[in-house]
């Protein structure tokens, strides 16, 4: 039995389901229970939060996983990239209030940055010699500057509309991301 971990809901979900369908993997139920059997292959699909997919694959609980590169890089789990899937493209960027002037990376020195991706951000700041405070928050990162919780954010940007509606501007693209097929190293 091959077990594949996929995102239960969120930005990867629709296209992951389409990928399974294109691969002719039929599921026995359309109800999103945790574990669903395929009706035509010896395959089980495990529906999880994207954050939990790298670890689930690294520990061998699932053999394969479909996950965003952002989560894969953030979790630093011992799994490997089998294929870049080319969908759910986005970038992980630093953004700041749009009315302030941006003189370059040094602006972030002594600033507080809200993010759900502290590992990727810490590595980037260190590499660039920037000394900022990282405030970890799991959701609604984009409202942080507006409510005085942080000076800037580090988050996923896709269409950019979330930034616009929160009066923020993207000033540094730290990494690009897309959906990945990952596998256990000892598969």
Q: For residue 24, with 0-12 CB atoms within 10 Å meaning exposed, 13-18 middle and 19 or more buried, which class applies?
A: exposed
Stretch of 13-21, 100-108, 123-131, 135-143 lying at the interface with ligand PRP (CB under 6 A): 135-143
Which one, 63 or 142, has the nearer CB to ligand PRP?
Answer: 142
Q: How far, in Å, are 23, 82, 185 from residue 117 at the CA level?
A: 32, 23, 24
Dihedral over Cα of 50, 172, 128, 103: its sign: negative
Order of strands across the sheet with 2-7?
35-37, 43-48, 2-7, 64-68, 179-184, 79-84
For residues 177 and 87, the answer to whether their CB atoms sit within 8 Å is: no
Query: By rule CB under 6 A, what string of x and - marks binding of each residue 59-88 to ligand PRP?
Result: ------------------------------
Name the binder of 160 from ligand PRP, Zn ion, none, CB < 5-8 A by kind: ligand PRP
11 binds, among Zn ion, ligand PRP, none (CB under 5 to 8 A by kind): ligand PRP
| Count of residues near ligand PRP by CB under 6 A | 13
Q: What are phi and psi of 125, to 5 degrees?
A: -65, -40
Nearer Cβ to ligand PRP (151/170): 170
Q: Which of 156, 168, 171, 180 binds ligand PRP (CB under 6 A)?
A: 156
Instruction: Tell me: does residue 12 bind ligand PRP (CB under 6 A).
Output: no
Q: Judged by CB under 6 A, does residue 158 bind ligand PRP?
A: yes
Which of 7, 16, 162, 177: binder of ligand PRP (CB under 6 A)? 162
20 — phi, psi (to 5°)? Answer: -65, -40
Query: 25 vs 143, which CB is nearer to ligand PRP?
Result: 143
Question: How far is it, in rounded angstroms, from Cα 8 to Cα 184?
Answer: 20
11 binds ligand PRP (CB under 6 A): yes
* Tokens coding 141: 């990162």
For ligand PRP, the binding residues (CB under 6 A) are 10-11, 139, 141-142, 155-162
């Amino acid at each position: 039995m091959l077990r594949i971990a996929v995102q239960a809901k969120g930005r990867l979900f629709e296209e992951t389901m389409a990928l399974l369908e294109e691969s002719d993997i039929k599921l026995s139920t359309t109800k999103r229970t945790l574990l669903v059997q395929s009706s035509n292959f010896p395959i089980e699909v495990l529906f999880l939060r994207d954050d939990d997919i790298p670890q689930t694959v690294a520990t061998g609980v699932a053999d394969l996983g479909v996950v965003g590169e952002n989560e894969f890089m953030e979790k630093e789990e011992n799994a490997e990239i089998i294929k870049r899937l080319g969908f759910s493209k986005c970038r992980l960027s630093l953004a700041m209030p749009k009315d302030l002037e941006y003189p370059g990376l040094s602006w972030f020195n002594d600033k507080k940055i809200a993010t759900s991706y502290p590992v990727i951000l810490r590595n980037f700041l260190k590499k660039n010699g920037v000394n900022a405070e990282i405030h970890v928050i799991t959701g609604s990162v984009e409202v942080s500057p507006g409510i005085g919780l942080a000076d800037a954010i580090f988050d996923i940007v896709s269409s950019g509309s979330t930034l616009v509606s929160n009066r923020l501007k993207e000033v540094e693209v730290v990494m690009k991301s897309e959906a990945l097929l990952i596998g256990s190293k000892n598969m």
